[in-house]
Amino acid sequence: MTVGTVSISFSDLFAADSRQTETILFDIRLPRILLAICVGAVLSSTGAVMQGLFRNPLADPSLIGVSSGASVGASLMIVAAGGFIQSGALLGLSLVAVGAFVGGFVATLLVYRLATSGIGTSVTTMLLAGIAIAAIAGALNSLLSYFSDNDMLRQISLWQMGNLSGASWTKVTIMASVALLLMSLFPRDSRALNALLLGESEARHLGVDVQAVKRRLIILTALGVGVCVALAGLVGFVGLIIPHIVRLAIGPDHRWLIPASALAGATLLVFADSLARIVVIPAELPTGILTALLGAPFFVVLLLQQRKQV
């Protein structure tokens, strides 16, 4: 809370005797920190769940199409709504946030329907459908960008970089509610995810209702990531890197992996957002740029180390 363009000491932090200091601390920085904690926890925990569901440590929540769909929804709102995008549309949120959430959920629904047949939901087909939906979404984003003016194009670019600067107590309340819901429901499927690591047929023999588990986890992941993207934009690498690192540190048991990933993701995003506020003072870098700059090189080092071990 002491980090930012305006320098505030630890003594000021506890005193907060001026109206300006109180506004900076409790109306700007504290909501932003709490939003970073919730977004980081949700992205990391959903990443751990998707990696378990796909049985691939390099899987990412965006594989089910939610991020690409949300990007189209947000871009469509920016282009269509023009100057009205910051007005309250629903529960005090902007039209961009609402459009992003709807776009993400629709894309996930399409991916799920394409991957589901009479015999169940194929994880491989879901992965391929997610790639196809992401390609279509990329084309639509390019088309919307082509028809945008300079101001709209800048807003689209900034939103896609991911940013927590628009944090408010309304956003914190919504994000915290979703985070608490996921943190209470994900652990219930920890044993099922552990069984799925052995294979779907083995999990069925162990009494796991594989289809129900897939459906439930995909819906919860779409809800969590959709709200994250709607409120904070596209914050990349958190859902991919953090669960992978935590798995290397403590093992693949989802009873511990999911909460540990949530804690590590929250820590990373708070650190990245704090750094984003001071790197180019008086301006602020988008948080998504920092998570990519911090995470990607570390991830490459991990991959190189694993290759040497093999």
Query: What's the mean pLDDT in 127-147?
Result: 91
**Per-residue pLDDT tens digits for 196-238:** 998 888 999 989 999 999 999 999 999 999 999 989 988 988 9
The secondary structure of residue 24, as a DSSP letter, is I
- The pLDDT tens digits for 276-308 are 888 887 778 888 888 888 777 877 877 787 677
Please report whether residue 155 resides in a domain.
yes
In a domain, 12, yes or no: no
**CA–CA dist 264, 272 (Å, integer):** 12
Report yes or no on 13 lying in a domain. Answer: no
> Are residues 63 and 50 in contact, defined by beta-carbon separation less than 8 angstroms?
yes
Asked, for residue 229, whether it belongs to a domain, the answer is yes
Each residue's pLDDT tens digit, 3-40: 877 777 767 666 666 777 778 888 888 999 999 999 99
Tell me 27's DSSP state: I
Q: Would you say residue 138 lies in a domain? A: yes
- DSSP run (H or E) holding 262: helix 254-276
Locate the DSSP E strands across the chain: 116-117, 120-121
| Range with top average pLDDT, 51-55, 62-66, 127-131, 173-177 | 173-177
Give a yes or no: residue 7 inside a domain: no
Question: What number of H helices and E strands is found in the chain?
Answer: 14, 2
- Going from the C-alpha of 83 to that of each of 73, 76, 79, 96, 272, the distances in angstroms are 16, 13, 9, 11, 30
Q: What are the angstrom distances between the C-alpha of 197 and each of 186, 217, 241?
A: 16, 15, 19
- The pLDDT > 70 percentage for the chain reads 93
**d(C-alpha 76, C-alpha 243), whole Å:** 32
Residues with Cβ within 8 Å of 281's Cβ and at least 6 positions away in sequence, in order, are: 5
CATH number at residue 158: 1.10.3470.10
In a domain, 270, yes or no: yes
Q: What does the pLDDT look like over 47-58, one tens digit per residue?
A: 999 999 988 877
Inside any domain, residue 6: no
> Which residue range forms the structural domain that includes residue 153?
20-309
CA distance 47 to 137: 21
Q: If you write DSSP's letter for every residue of 185-202 in order, what string do you get?
A: HGGGGHHHHHHHTT-HHH
pLDDT higher than threshold 60 for residue 86: no
Give the predicted TM-score (pTM) of the model.
0.90
Query: CA-CA distance, 83 to 186, in Å (whole number)?
Result: 39
**Number of folded domains in the chain?**
1
Average pLDDT, the chain: 86
Q: Which of these, 185, 235, 228, 219, lies nearest to 108 by C-alpha position? A: 219
